[in-house]
Chains A and B, each alone.
Chain A
Amino acid sequence: EAGVTQFPSHSVIEKGQTVTLRCDPISGHDNLYWYRRVMGKEIKFLLHFVKESKQDESGMPNNRFLAERTGGTYSTLKVQPAELEDSGVYFCASSQGALGGNTIYFGEGSWLTVV
């Protein structure tokens, strides 16, 4: 079974540019999460999709961040325009629905560096 996949694995962009991160969850997983880890700090929640709906987006830092999950399959996280403090590792994770257990599975992460 394929795991959670993320693209790109690494990205270096200049301040003010736009970056779009993509996440493909495990097939059949209704729940999709985005998290961010800034160097040496906690894994910070950004938002949670259930299928195509945003269940909770309370962790999104500001309106420069836009997440979508059209069709309830893969998701994208766009940062526009990027700022220096956006640098970090963006993790996507997925889990089955309410009847399928609680475990969340992480992708390898997308390492973003804004210079």
Chain B
Amino acid sequence: GENVEQHPSTLSVQEGDSAVIKCTYSDSASNYFPWYKQELGKRPQLIIDIRSNVGEKKDQRIAVTLNKTAKHFSLHITETQPEDSAVYFCAPARRMGGGNQFYFGTGTSLTVIP
């Protein structure tokens, strides 16, 4: 299966600063790259995604950049706020049968200090 790693595993930033989380993967067939946010006790929720034919995508304070050659993609959060505190997971996916196969990274615990 896919080997997915995230760095760093924990990250603390001051409110207003930026946070960057990197995800590396091994399967060159991966063609869909989402990021999920999981707040304590809640379900993981999709916050941003990018497809393999695009290098960068931005949605307000959140952006994702993809380097398919190097097999990594990164989550960028600018102007961080306390409510950004959560565990973030990357989940590169490839087509398999009638859907996609997702493999989740190890997670990054982000703490935004007010």
Checking B32, B34, B46, B103 against A45 with a beta-carbon cut-off of 8 angstroms, the contacting residue is B103
CB-based contact B99/A95 at 8 Å = yes
CB-based contact A43/B99 at 8 Å = no
Q: How far is B20's CA from A61's CA once the two chains are assembled, in angstroms?
A: 33
Q: How far is B101's CA from A58's CA once the two chains are assembled, in angstroms?
A: 11
CB-based contact B102/A55 at 8 Å = no
Contact mask for chain A residues 67-106; partner B; CB cutoff 8 A; 1 contact, 0 none: 0000000000000000000000001000111100011111
CB-based contact A50/B99 at 8 Å = yes
Interface residues of B in 47-101 (CB under 8 A from A): 49, 89, 91, 93, 95-101
B51 and chain A: residue at smallest CB distance: A102
Best-buried of B101, B102, B103 by chain A (most CB within 10 Å): B102
Q: How far is B93's CA from A55's CA once the two chains are assembled, in angstroms?
A: 14
B89 and chain A: residue at smallest CB distance: A43
Sample (20) of A-B pairs whose CB atoms are under 8 Å apart: A30-B99, A33-B102, A42-B89, A42-B104, A42-B105, A45-B1, A45-B104, A50-B99, A55-B96, A55-B99, A56-B96, A58-B1, A91-B44, A102-B32, A102-B34, A102-B49, A106-B43, A106-B45, A107-B43, A108-B42
